Amino acid sequence: MRLLLPALLLRLWWRARREPLYGMAVSERLGFGPATAPGAVWLHAVSLGETRAAEPLVRALRLQWPEVPILLTHGTATGRAAGEHLLELGDHQCWLPLDTPGAVRRFFRRHRPALGILMETEVWPQLLHAAQRAGVPVVLANARLSEKSLRRSLCLDALLRPAAQSLAQALAQTEADAQRLRQAGVVDVQVLGNLKFDQHPSAALLAVGESWSAGLSRPVVLAASWREGEDAPLLDAWRALLERRAATSTSQPQPLLLLVPRHPQRFDEVARQVTQAGLTLVRRSTWGAAGPGTVARAAQVWLGDSMGEMPAYYACADAALLGGSFAPLGGQNLIEAAACACPVFLGPHTFNFQQAAEGAVAAGAAWRCTDLDEAVAAACALADRPAARAAASAAAVSYAGRDQGAAARMARTLRHFISSTTAR
C-alpha cells in the first residue's frame, strides 16, 4: 500500500476531474484533517448503497444514545454526499484513510472513537490492526459475504483471516452469510437481518415520481442502477421492442425507457450511447422542478442524471429492470424498488443479494429472466396489464415490509459495546 500510494493519490486527482468531491480534503485519506471529540461511534459506509442502508441504523443508535456523536467515514463521493444528510450537531464526517500503517494510526489518534461499525463487507487489514492496538472494538454490521467474495478471501487467507478474526462481532444479513463469514475467520457472528428492509422511501419523492407518470399516458420501464457493460444490450433490446410494437400495433402507446446509471461519472457516456443507438433522449437534469415538458413526454428514453431521486424514479415506473444482474456483477438492491411498489425483473446474476432476490421472486414481487430481451418484453407486457401490475405492486410492498426491525435489533446488540466504552 505504501508503494501504491502515489498511484492511488493520482487516481483520486483523475476522478476529481469529473467528480470534484474526490479532490476535497485529500489529507484525510492520509489520516490528517480536523480531529473530533473522543468517544464517538464511528460508522464507515464506503459508498452510496452502504450509506443509505446505514440510515435506519443511525436513527436507531440516536434513539438509544442521543448524547453520543457519530463519526461518518466514506470511500466514494456518492457515499459522502449522501452521508451529509445523516449528520446532526456534534457529528463529524471525513474520508476513510488509505490502508497504510501511518494513515490508520493517525486516524485513530485524531478521532479516538469508542466503537467502530463497518457496513456490509469492508475489511481492511491495517485498519483493523490499528483499531485493535487502539483498543477500539469493531463490528461488521449488515454483513454479507457472497460465495465469490469468500473464494477471493480464502486466496488471501494469510492477510485477511487475522483481520476477520480481530472483528469484535459480525451482524449478518442471512444464515448463509453467517456461515461464509465464519469460514473467513470471524469468530462471533449473529444473524439479525437486512437493514435495507428498514429503509423508508421519501413520500415527497414518491409524489414527484407519480406526478411525472401522470402526464405521460404511456408505460414506463425503469433500468435501475444500471452498470457498465449492460448499456449496449439494453439499448439493442429496447430498440428491437419499439420496432416490433410499431410493426404489430397502432393502438398501444410506445413505452418509455427511464435509464438511471449507477454511477454519476457515467451520465455523459450513457447519454452518448443512447443517441448513437438512434433513440431520442431527454435528461432529467433539463427539466428541473417543473416536471417533464412536451419534448420529454415524447422522447423514447429519459436519462436519470440526478442523485438522491431513486424513489421518484421507481414511483414513475410501471416495472423495473435490476441493474448489475444482467452482467456478472451481482445485482443491486431490489428491496428499495419493492418498498416503492415497483415490480422488478431480474437477470441471472444476483449473487450479492441472493436471498433478497429469491424472496422477492417467491413473493410475486419479482421475476427472473435469462437475458435483457426477455426482461424488456416481460416488463412491457406487465405494464400493459393494469390489474396484473397492481397485484405485483401490492406483493412488492408486502414483501418489503415483512422483514423490518434489523436496525432495532442491531442497536440492541451494540448496546454493550457502546455502554461499556462510554462508561470508561
Neighbouring C-beta atoms of residue 272, cutoff 10 Å: 12
Cα–Cα distance for residue pair 89/82, rounded to 1 Å: 17
Q: Are 290 and 43 within 8 A, CB to CB?
A: no
Cα–Cα distance for residue pair 416/114, rounded to 1 Å: 12
Q: What is the DSSP string of 365-393?
A: SEEE-SSHHHHHHHHHHHHT-HHHHHHHH
Q: Are 252 and 245 within 8 A, CB to CB?
A: yes
Neighbouring C-beta atoms of residue 348, cutoff 10 Å: 14
Which triple of cell numbers denotes residue 356? 433478497
| Angle at CA of residue 99, ends 96 and 103, nearest 5° | 75
Annotated catalytic sites, by residue? 50
Which triple of cell numbers denotes residue 83? 452521508
CB burial string 149-159: b at 16+ within 10 A, e below: bbeebeeeeee
Q: What is the DSSP string of 161-214?
A: HHHHHH-SEEEESSHHHHHHHHHHT-S-EEE---GGGG----HHHHHHHHHHHH
Cα dihedral sign, 99-103-108-113:
negative
Q: Are 309 and 205 within 8 A, CB to CB?
A: yes
Distance of CA 40 to the CA centre of its chain: 25
**Residue count of the chain:** 424
Pairing state of beta strands 256-261 and 138-143?
A: unpaired
